[in-house]
Amino acid sequence: MTATATRVLVLNSGSSSVKYQLLDMNPDSRGGPAAGTRLAVGLVERIGEETSRLAHTPLATGGDKRETEGPIADHGAALKAVAAELSADGLGLDSPQLAAIGHRVVHGGLKFTAPTVIDDAVLAEIERLVPVAPLHNPANITGIRTAQALRPDLPQVAVFDTAFHTTMPEYAARYAIDVATADAHRIRRYGFHGTSHAYVSRKTAELLGKDPSEVNVIVLHLGNGASASAVAGGRCVDTSMGLTPLEGLVMGTRSGDIDPAVTFHLKRVAGMSEDDVDVLLNKKSGLVGLCGDNDMREIRRRIDEGDERAELAFDIYIHRLKKYIGAYTAVLGRVDAVAFTAGVGENAAPVRAAALAGLEEMGLAVDADLNAVRSGEPRLISPECARVAAAVVPTDEELEIAQQTYALVSA
């Protein structure tokens, strides 16, 4: 890597999509853009279909968003299309300024506790984890292979969604099932959204003017997928997602916590197949299963119109959230802050107000005026007198991946 190589391309490869951001991590802001400056962002969707779509915004040149539609056959073609868009802005992947490519990898199992430079052995291990992340790791692997083919000389770094949670104590990570069976099949709670929980818990400490080691934070990552975590002194001690991202909070389309016997019942009594149950719990449950909508804006609009199904869905969502806030307060013993993040957490003031309503005895309260403020900045929403701070802390998983990637390759 040359001294001028300060750019990191962050790739988040899904089964039919690739999200990307090119960031400059220049550590010397006197000689160029500030560390973390976004040069270009974009998304390729519906890969493999006739109606694939690429949306690219060249932030470095201040240019407008460019959108192209037309068939993009696979991830290889998608990444080539992205490379062409970047080249058109003078930001091509062949640039000597590119230091590394950082990949979001969903499942790192127990082995990967930190960002890791990808070699054949690392790739083989990510592949070995496919049985515990069948929806995500294969797409991540495809993204890595494609990027390697494009720039074989460049360091490729895997940043794992599970890594932040590997500090969970054994008693929080293990399910109370037969140990031999669990170990034989690597069944345990891994947790996900770790990059977001790491970033947001650190930013929350910053907002409180403290070092992460000094504070205990409950992070509520409420997006279409949703998870909570208990972070003690910068280390994750519990999180709501488990072996897969299905456990825990009520999500856009996932049920979250459920009696596992429901699945036997669906198979034995309702005659559903394994796959039917999988689709039901992952894609047709949560808010969408309860009321037909998974967008919190739409749910709030329906509630305002007196829609009882939407209201019940909202109440179930909030009830689950409150249970986790209570549980993690008990786990942490002392809580300094509750931080809301991701699409719902950052934007839905009624969710934040409802989740903390009635928790005054636990030191939690919401100031209605502060909660109504709309801003992209980390901010407090609790009154000054509250014993526990409540905060909105926008997440930035791409920046976190870029920071971790650059730190690793420039060390």
Binding site for ligand AMP (CB under 6 A): 223-224, 252, 294-297, 342-344, 347-348
The helix/strand/coil state of 204 is helix
Nearer to ligand AMP, 257 or 295 (CB): 295
Q: Residue 275, exposed/middle/buried by CB under 10 A (0-12, 13-18, 19+)?
A: exposed
Give the rounded distance of the alpha carbon of 50 from its chain centre: 29
Nearer to ligand AMP, 113 or 224 (CB): 224
Nearer to ligand AMP, 296 or 338 (CB): 296
Active site residue 293: no
Nearer to ligand AMP, 295 or 367 (CB): 295
CB of 114: closest distance to ligand AMP in angstroms?
25
Nearer to ligand AMP, 126 or 390 (CB): 390
The answer to whether residues 187 and 175 touch, using CB atoms and an 8 Å cutoff, is yes
CA separation for the pair 3, 409 (Å, rounded): 11
Choose the catalytic residue: 89, 161, 238, 307. Answer: 161
CA dihedral (13, 14, 19, 23) in degrees, to 10, reads -30
CA separation for the pair 207, 70 (Å, rounded): 45
Nearer to ligand AMP, 223 or 245 (CB): 223
CB of 221: closest distance to ligand AMP in angstroms?
8
CB of 183: closest distance to ligand AMP in angstroms?
33
The answer to whether residues 126 and 108 touch, using CB atoms and an 8 Å cutoff, is yes
Residue in the structure block whose two tokens are 């039901």:
280
β pairing state of 216-222 and 226-232? antiparallel
The answer to whether residues 401 and 195 touch, using CB atoms and an 8 Å cutoff, is yes
Residues 6+ apart with CB under 8 A from 84: none
Backbone angles phi, psi at 12, to 5 degrees: -120, 95
Going 235 to 237 to 243 to 245, the CA torsion angle's sign is negative
Residue nearest to ligand AMP (CB): 343
CB of 293: closest distance to ligand AMP in angstroms?
9
CA separation for the pair 256, 253 (Å, rounded): 9
Q: Which residues does the annotation mark as catalytic?
A: 161
